[in-house]
Structure 1
């Protein structure tokens, strides 16, 4: 695309006439006319004035004709890309988190089952101890005092 077409696109986008553009960027009207008619090529100073006056213009588009035309389009495309990447990352993290929660739940269930087995085993052992204790007769009872003395009782 020739610079004359780029300049016309800028004027159309911002709704400016040749005179209005010249006044805005502080150049003679003839400069704009010569650029549009392709009599002259833009100077670096002219491009800098355009970019300073219209900071949303993509400088790479002005110099190299590299799309997009406006910087806001670059940010919008980057923002959309970032949002897509963020969404994908969030989905991955959500799946990972769900897997971790499932693993934690499974570990908790296994721990509770193990604890339940231990409790049942202890109850069974205590019942056996109580039954074996009940079948025996007491021979004597000894009480120890904190002063080192003791007393023995025989039934």
Structure 2
């Protein structure tokens, strides 16, 4: 996949037109057209503007097509406000039970609350499908990392 195709994918994933994308990142509309057509390659300044305005885009993926490092958002430790607001807009968890204070949450177990099947959804878009794994060799798996998002926009990473 070329950088032109990856750029087109970023535009589509954000439900934008080429003109709206150009306006958002602050470049001429013809620049977007020329890059997407393959006439020009994007400059470093052009790529920096994309990464500044779309912090969820992985810089390594945008430039090389491979996930090299963390996204701009992960590097700056920013949390997707829409995601946090969608969780904090309700006082109920996914099963409809009222969510308690953090001290109460620590004592609860969530073993049966995660579905083994169904769509994986991020930002209101289906990004994949979870699959049920009946392999008995998987029983030795342990949790490696948990990320906790707080309603004040901060988060904490808990590693084993």
TM-score, with length taken from structure 2: 0.44
Relative contact order, higher structure (CA 8 A, sep 6+):
2
TM-score, with length taken from structure 1: 0.45
Higher strand share: 2
Which structure's CA Rg is the greater one? 1
